[in-house]
Amino acid sequence: MREEESRKGGTPVFGEEHKERIIQEFVPGKQVTLAHVIPNPVDALYGKMGLIDAEGAIGIFTITPSEAAIIAADVASKAAGITIGFVDRFNGSLIITGDVADVEAALHDVMHVLCDGMGFAGTPITRS
The reply to whether 65 falls in a domain is yes
Range of the domain at 103: 31-127
The reply to whether 39 falls in a domain is yes
- The CATH number given to whatever domain includes residue 83 is 3.30.70.1710
The reply to whether 12 falls in a domain is no
The reply to whether 78 falls in a domain is yes
Model pTM score? 0.77
Number of domains in the chain: 1
The rounded average pLDDT for each run of 10 residues, N- to C-terminus, in the chain (128 residues) is 52 68 72 97 92 93 96 97 96 97 98 97 96
User: Following DSSP, what letter does each residue of 17-86 receive, concatenated?
Assistant: ---------PPS--EEEEEEEESS--HHHHHHTT-TT--SEEEEEEEESTTHHHHHHHHHHHHSS-EEEE
